[in-house]
Structure 1
Amino acid sequence: MCGICGFTGAAPEDLPTLKSMCDVMAHRGPDGEGQYLDAGIALGHRRLSLIDLEGGNQPMVRATGEHVSAVTSPALAADGSFIQGEARGMARGRHAIVFNGEIYNYRDLRAELEADGWEFSTNSDTEVLLVAYLAWGEAALNRLRGMFAFAIWDAEARELFCARDFFGIKPFYYTLQRTDRGAQFIFGSEIKCILEHPAYTRALNEEALESYLCFQFSALPETFFKGIFKLAPAHCLRVHADGRLETTRYWRPDYDFDEGRSRADTVGAIDDAMRESVRYHNVADVEVGSFLSSGIDSSYMAACLAKENPAIKTFTVGFAEYEGERDEISWAAELADQLGIANASKHIGEDEYWASLPAVQWHMDEPSADPSAVALYFVDQIAAKQVKAVLSGEGADEFFGGYRIYQVPFANQKVAWAPKGLLRGASKVMRAAHLRGANYLERASETCEDWYYTNANGVAFTPEERARLLKRPVSGPSPQELTAPAYAEAAGLDETTRMQYVDLYFWLVGDILLKTDKMSMAHSLESRVPFLDKEVFNVSRTIPTRLKVDAEQTKLTLREAAERAIPPDWAQKEKLGFPVPVVSWLREERYYDLVRAWFTSETAQRFFNVDELLKLLDEHRAGADRSRKIWIIYMFLMWHKIYFGGAHVGSAEEAAQAVS
């Protein structure tokens, strides 16, 4: 895992810009860096070395004679002008690549390419990826098994080909700016890289703020920075010589339920797929560890890894408030003892949690209101002290039906006999009388397309609340409008599967995977996600919903598969997530006063109706739980101070100074 950046329309004098773009993401790759500057293209790379430690440096250039060279610095003359050709060791060739991620089946692909006559100069997955593209073109993408975001320059065609992995595990940001050099395409693993380029002028996208209030993360294709976009998962992008962008979707998840397969065979298929995926995700020239929480996902995954490597190290965090109770750390320690594996843990203190918030928001690039991102920040921190890569359990809920909200359609069946109008009327009456059950009846009167847009439902702001909160609404799309294309693609499937499909493209990529990447890379740690493997998905897509979720339980067959590796008490345990004690903290005077100061600040008054903000704070202190809504606003204001406060913030330390 690394960091990549670059831009078209490059000139010799652009080396300092390219270097600045690399330097601002040095945390993504402390093991090395490289810049490639040739006629019309600049490519930069920061390396975290895990495969082919000696030969896998980037940018990598396919030079004459079908061999590659790694570029560690551009060739410059004494006067600072660019030297053409191979002077001073500058590799020359038609194709150059920068790549962030891992191709876990690179050895299989290399053997196939070698059988076809291709030669290799390194043992790296980067070279295999480049050669696979040269051999198979865009069709190479569907042969890959891994996580990736990369860019390949074709000097002869003067085109740049970019791609992002199937599920959006690795980020890829880009912008197209019109300059006196023509259209300049600028890209990076982090938005911070693009902000370093002088062609981009920083501007806030207020439409992103509208969607953020409902989703608690950036849900639009365009980021919080006007004109900077995210390449969507399973998409590739070709930048033509004239600056034209051509985007293609190369893969689409589909479902083909195998109703004839027995429950036992389904459980076996899941277990086989997971064990194979963990084996592939353990491919590295360095030690790979694993996270271990109280939940089934990480427990099952760590147990599978322990079969491959009994000496693995695992890592867990909890909160000091729960120390001595039955918390994440006690569950993980007990399971680690039963499996005979090492476990390192940390109780996060209240003061250090709050002190870390500026660093977290700086690393995230866009505001993130998920309080568990901070827990990830600390577990990545302790893991990075012992290993360079860890396995993490993201994706299991979306693939195998892990969220309790996926059970709602089963609960709605209890009143399926009633006319929808009757249910809506009863809901209004109960809501007016402040009776419990109003939400249940309202949802039962609707389809999931009407009310479900992610797991932010119920914790973030509704469109109506958003309208009252914003001082200057910009009439951005509603959550239902944003999710409508995904629901249309999943038309004909049952409601639970449609909800899972929407989560693949919103909750998973916009919240879960983004914080996984940014928090691990903050500590120069690679986070690998075995559940989010194409072959694991190929199993999950065949499992009927009745074998994933029912009215009483989630992850039905995944739990049974996990029992082949971990004790039943762990496999059948209810999902906790990270129980962050923000609810109680915000009722303490010190934090109430702290957040109140932010809520009455000049920035808050610019965007929000302050009376509505203070109402949230006071209602929460009086006993109602408004913590998640408060956190959404608080994190936006902190992020805005860091990125739009007037000072250049180039590190986590400077972010802390900016908000102090």
Structure 2
Amino acid sequence: MCGIAGFVNDMPIDTKCPVLKRMTDIIAHRGPDSEGHYIDEHAALGHRRLSIIDLGGGKQPIYNEDGSLVITFNGEIYNYQPLREQLIEAGHTFTTKSDTEVLLHGYEEWGVELLQKIRGMFTFVIWDRNKRELFGARDHFGIKPFYYAKMNGTFMYASEIKSLLQHPDFVKELNEKALKPYMTFQYPAIGETFFKGVFKLPEGHYFTYRDGKMSIHEYYDEHFRESSTKLDPLVDTIDRTVCDSVKAHQIADVEVGSFLSSGVDSSYVAAVARPEHTYSIGFGKGTYNESQQAGELAKLIDLNNTAEALTDEEAFAAFPRIQWHLDEPDSNPSCVPLYFLSALAAKDVKVVLSGEGADELFAGYIDYGVHTKFKPIKVLTRWLGHLPAGARHAIAQWCKGKTFHGAWHMYANLAPAEESFIGQARVFEESESDKLLNPEYRNAPSVQSIVDKTYARVEGKGLSELKKKQYLDMHQWMPGDILLKADKMTMAHSLELRVPLLDKELMAVAEQVPTKYLITDENTKYAFRQAAGRHLPKEWYDREKLGFPVPIKKWLREEKFYKYVRSVFERDYVSKFFDQDALLRMIDDNYAGKTDDRRKIWTVYSFLTWYDVYFVHDGSKPDVIAIA
């Protein structure tokens, strides 16, 4: 795992220019082991290395045989060894044993077709000196980040936006259209980031940049469909593919540990991997400390688990630094414990496995339509689900807004996904955002227009409403929130996170799981849980999804934290964005117990903390603060 940054300019570049080093120095946390630079008249490619494979020989940049191609790469290719053998047979000469060089010679040999052959997580760029062309790609699911901008005649790119800020041609300006969607989704929800003119390369896409023009193309997309697969062979296939993926994701020349929570996903991975070390974290004791249950599982299946309890003061003190590492505001509360969990694991290992991806691949979220525990309602809803679409939708409309028990469950399952589902977060309704935001920040892409672009890609493909929801999350929630925080919070501590449940081979299995085996009357991701049951006690594989519990409700009703967040809401610059009086009423009413607006308050607080770091201040790494 590493960090990359660089730029291309049609005007000659001074080969002694210090800009590239500034761009890579600011992300030294992504690769503290070494750095490397390539600069010619028109291109500058920089790299920070976290040594995982070929510890002695994998330093980047790496060149092809005649020096006409140069590569920098962030990520891991898990099937690089057989590809390397194919390339040697084809006549290529290797100078290292790294997966990076496999990408370079693979591009020489196969061109863009290389992307269909590799299995892994990656962003990389290859500069062709003869063509003066930059080629780059991002992995199938968006596990690794890639940002780019073109400003003042310079095309620049990086693993983190903070690298771009170091370039003299970069113009730092807030993207006014990003704030309103963020308030609903809780994460940056549009292609242009919170920094105006900075964009994210979409997951499953590659680009070429030549003669001042960038061309972006898709090379991969999920193909959700139905199949007639029976449950028992399906469970066999899932377990076999998970075991194969975990094994592939353990390829390294350093120790590979694993995160361990109370949930089925990371527990399944850890039980299969059986690493030397696993890691858990939580807040205090009881409800907000799932490390206790993780410790129980570790004892049951004989794992060496290290657990740590966080204090509330530690969480608040580090929050500005967390938002700095994120590059853009993200109000997912789990960013906080993940930051500290990564710090804990990084004391011992450079690589950890984690359970991200299973909920999207195998339908693990209750928001996919599990809104009652009353079995007769579930049975009735499932029966109604077999009616023609017109009848289903009519019943859904009748249920919408009703207050009888089961009404929301029936609506969520019978209504078109396009109408009822925007993903795993809905913090502010758009009408609420409009009331709170100043006029210049209301003119932004609507929530519906954002999700409609993704839904349009599967229109007419005959997918169940549940599979359409999965597809939306694969392209919104997962790359925009789950994977972004996973990358940034682990790399903040020079820790490589690998996600064996988010693998293209496992995706090929997941995309054809019959809908009836995704969510049943018993639980979510039913078939996946049955596979996990081959390795875990029933109490673990059948446990309802919990998420990463964070006590923000408690924090915002505790005087010292309430006063601190309120002091942030009182700052002068807050009135630039919000109706400040309304914001202060919101936090006061929540503190008094009149309302429960914790998620809304935390979302605004996250944005204001991020804005303070990057715009009120100069974007440098903030100190850990003290909460009196």
Task: Using structure 2 for the length normalisation, give the TM-score.
Answer: 0.93
Match of 1:567 in 2: 537
1:14 shift after superposition: 5.7
| 1:300 partnered with 2:268 | yes
| 1:105 partnered with 2:79 | yes
Q: Which of 351, 359, 369 is residue 397 of structure 1 equivalent to?
A: 359
Mark the CA change 1:427 to 1:282 in structure 2 (over 3 Å): closer, same or farther: closer
| 1:466 partnered with 2:427 | no
Match of 1:131 in 2: 105
**How big is each residue's C-alpha offset from its partner over 1:346-398, in whole Å with a ceiling of 9 and x where there is no partner?**
00111101111011000000001011011100110010000000001000000
8 A contact 1:363–1:652 mirrored in 2:
no
Greater shift in the superposed pair: 604-613 or 220-229: 604-613
Mark the CA change 1:445 to 1:256 in structure 2 (over 3 Å): closer, same or farther: closer
Match of 1:60 in 2: 62
Q: Which of 38, 41, 45 is residue 40 of structure 2 equivalent to?
A: 38
Q: Which of 319, 323, 333 is residue 361 of structure 1 equivalent to?
A: 323
1:35 shift after superposition: 1.1
Higher relative contact order (CA 8 A, sep 6+): 2
SS at match of 1:12: coil
8 A contact 2:122–2:138 mirrored in 1:
yes
Match of 2:254 in 1: 286
Match of 1:90 in 2: none
| 1:631 partnered with 2:593 | no
Kindly provide the amino acid, as one letter, of the partner of residue 458 in structure 2.
A
**How big is each residue's C-alpha offset from its partner over 1:396-451, in whole Å with a ceiling of 9 and x where there is no partner?**
00001100111359685577788867865775575xxxx87775576578422113
8 A contact 1:359–1:656 mirrored in 2:
no
Match of 1:27 in 2: 29
Distance (Å, rounded) in 2 between the aligned partners of 1:552 and 1:115: 52
Distance (Å, rounded) in 2 between the aligned partners of 1:551 and 1:157: 58
8 A contact 1:141–1:250 mirrored in 2:
yes
| 1:619 partnered with 2:589 | yes
The aligned runs of 1:564-603 (5 Å cut-off) are 564-603=534-573
Mark the CA change 1:471 to 1:450 in structure 2 (over 3 Å): closer, same or farther: same
SS at match of 1:629: helix
| 1:257 partnered with 2:219 | no
| 1:320 partnered with 2:284 | yes
SS at match of 2:68: strand
**How big is each residue's C-alpha offset from its partner over 1:104-152, in whole Å with a ceiling of 9 and x where there is no partner?**
1000110111122212111000000110011000010010100000000
8 A contact 1:2–1:46 mirrored in 2:
yes
8 A contact 2:65–2:93 mirrored in 1:
no
SS at match of 1:356: helix
The aligned runs of 1:365-384 (5 Å cut-off) are 365-384=327-346
1:26 shift after superposition: 0.5
SS at match of 1:102: strand
**How big is each residue's C-alpha offset from its partner over 1:239-272, in whole Å with a ceiling of 9 and x where there is no partner?**
01x211100001111023321x221100000000
| 1:120 partnered with 2:122 | no
Kindly provide the amino acid, as one letter, of the partner of residue 272 in structure 1.
R
1:549 shift after superposition: 0.8
Match of 2:125 in 1: 151
Distance (Å, rounded) in 2 between the aligned partners of 1:474 and 1:581: 31
8 A contact 2:15–2:41 mirrored in 1:
no
Distance (Å, rounded) in 1 between the aligned partners of 2:218 and 2:136: 12
Match of 2:374 in 1: none
Distance (Å, rounded) in 2 between the aligned partners of 1:229 and 1:345: 38
**How big is each residue's C-alpha offset from its partner over 1:206-225, in whole Å with a ceiling of 9 and x where there is no partner?**
10111101100001110000
8 A contact 2:73–2:122 mirrored in 1:
yes
Match of 1:89 in 2: none
Distance (Å, rounded) in 2 between the aligned partners of 1:134 and 1:495: 42
Distance (Å, rounded) in 2 between the aligned partners of 1:332 and 1:166: 31
Greater shift in the superposed pair: 604-613 or 506-515: 604-613
Mark the CA change 1:288 to 1:421 in structure 2 (over 3 Å): closer, same or farther: closer
Greater shift in the superposed pair: 366-375 or 473-482: 473-482
Distance (Å, rounded) in 1 between the aligned partners of 2:468 and 2:264: 23
Aligned-pair identity in percent equals 45
The aligned runs of 1:548-563 (5 Å cut-off) are 548-563=518-533
Mark the CA change 1:194 to 1:141 in structure 2 (over 3 Å): closer, same or farther: same
Match of 1:198 in 2: 168
Kindly provide the amino acid, as one letter, of the partner of residue 637 in structure 1.
L
Kindly provide the amino acid, as one letter, of the partner of residue 527 in structure 2.
T
SS at match of 1:518: helix
Distance (Å, rounded) in 2 between the aligned partners of 1:620 and 1:438: 28
Mark the CA change 1:419 to 1:50 in structure 2 (over 3 Å): closer, same or farther: closer
Mark the CA change 1:408 to 1:490 in structure 2 (over 3 Å): closer, same or farther: farther
8 A contact 2:206–2:219 mirrored in 1:
yes
Kindly provide the amino acid, as one letter, of the partner of residue 163 in structure 2.
C
Structure 2 gap ranges (5+): 372-377
Mark the CA change 1:14 to 1:568 in structure 2 (over 3 Å): closer, same or farther: same
Distance (Å, rounded) in 2 between the aligned partners of 1:254 and 1:421: 29
1:618 shift after superposition: 3.0
SS at match of 2:178: helix
1:49 shift after superposition: 0.2
Q: Which of 596, 612, 615 is residue 641 of structure 1 equivalent to?
A: 612
Kindly provide the amino acid, as one letter, of the partner of residue 258 in structure 1.
S
8 A contact 2:138–2:145 mirrored in 1:
yes
Distance (Å, rounded) in 2 between the aligned partners of 1:629 and 1:42: 42
Task: Using structure 1 for the length normalisation, give the TM-score.
Answer: 0.89
Mark the CA change 1:41 to 1:270 in structure 2 (over 3 Å): closer, same or farther: same
Match of 1:169 in 2: 143
1:331 shift after superposition: 1.3
**How big is each residue's C-alpha offset from its partner over 1:575-617, in whole Å with a ceiling of 9 and x where there is no partner?**
1111111101101121222122222222211101123312321
8 A contact 2:613–2:620 mirrored in 1:
no
Match of 1:406 in 2: 368
Distance (Å, rounded) in 2 between the aligned partners of 1:20 and 1:478: 37
8 A contact 1:407–1:551 mirrored in 2:
no
| 1:277 partnered with 2:239 | no
Mark the CA change 1:475 to 1:444 in structure 2 (over 3 Å): closer, same or farther: farther
The aligned runs of 1:339-358 (5 Å cut-off) are 339-358=301-320
Distance (Å, rounded) in 1 between the aligned partners of 2:288 and 2:573: 41
The aligned runs of 1:440-451 (5 Å cut-off) are 443=412, 446-451=415-420
The aligned runs of 1:209-220 (5 Å cut-off) are 209-220=179-190
| Aligned residue pairs, count | 611
* CA RMSD, Structure 1 to Structure 2 (Å): 2.2
8 A contact 2:107–2:114 mirrored in 1:
yes
Distance (Å, rounded) in 2 between the aligned partners of 1:419 and 1:587: 43
8 A contact 2:369–2:413 mirrored in 1:
no
8 A contact 1:595–1:634 mirrored in 2:
yes
Greater shift in the superposed pair: 595-604 or 524-533: 595-604
Distance (Å, rounded) in 2 between the aligned partners of 1:385 and 1:601: 37
Match of 1:516 in 2: 486
1:624 shift after superposition: 2.8
8 A contact 1:294–1:327 mirrored in 2:
no
Greater shift in the superposed pair: 335-344 or 628-637: 335-344
8 A contact 1:427–1:437 mirrored in 2:
no
SS at match of 2:29: helix
Mark the CA change 1:496 to 1:319 in structure 2 (over 3 Å): closer, same or farther: same
8 A contact 1:401–1:555 mirrored in 2:
yes
8 A contact 1:103–1:145 mirrored in 2:
yes
Match of 1:4 in 2: 4
Distance (Å, rounded) in 1 between the aligned partners of 2:384 and 2:243: 41
Distance (Å, rounded) in 1 between the aligned partners of 2:329 and 2:223: 31
